[in-house]
Amino acid sequence: MHAYNESYLANAMKTLGDMFQHAVCACRISGDEILELFVSTGLAAEFEKGNPKYIAGRSGAELFCDVLEAAEKPFPPATLRMFFSKTPEYWCGWILGYYQWRYDAKFADIHAKLSFSELLALYPTLHEADMKKAAEIISARLNPTPHPTKLQTIRKSRQLSQQVLSTLSGVSLRSVQMYEQRNKDINKAQADTLYALAKILGCSIEDLLE
């Protein structure tokens, strides 16, 4: 469920792109700083809610001024520049707007895992990609799939289900599941538990430790 209709999306993406382009390229404020202020002042939350004042009623430069005013920061002198092409900073704001809308994410959560500088480093690779594909790659980076535990890898290589391993080893099914999900640290398991699992799996105890 999206916070606002897709008909507003292009404008919202452009506004964010223009804000970062103006902040970085015209006013010499770092992208990381303006993203931090955008989040901390609560204006990012207004974007997330689909507040029409911000997603449709402000230019990028105006949104930049709103952020500085809300943060009680002085307004830096702006260099008057004509942008004949979209800058990498524009792309960062543009794709941030799309990613947030598509995944109904919070800018604060995005910022906590991916700095503006890190996003900017993805520009050479992703800026020519379809925006859906770019968002998917960013999502994979923000939410990486954890590597399977050694226990899970060895169990599957032996073609045993969790239930069968539990029955044969005498280790509870719940414990097997929690070790594989890393909800319990197998490195702290009792020696007899490790021995029972290793015996059924035909491996050493050391092979099961993370």
DSSP, residue by residue, 95-138: HHHHHHHHHT--HHHHHHHS-HHHHHHTHHHHTTS-HHHHHHHH
pLDDT digits (tens, 9 = 90+) for 2-60: 889 999 999 999 999 999 999 999 899 999 999 999 999 999 999 999 999 999 889 99
120-130 CB burial, b ≥16 within 10 A, e <16: bebbeebbeee
Report CA Rg, the chain: 24
Catalogue all structural domains in the chain, each as residue range(s) with its CATH number.
6-142 (no CATH), 150-208 (1.10.260.40)
pLDDT bin (cut points 50, 70, 90) of residue 78 is low
User: Is 80's pLDDT higher than 60?
Assistant: no
pTM: 0.71
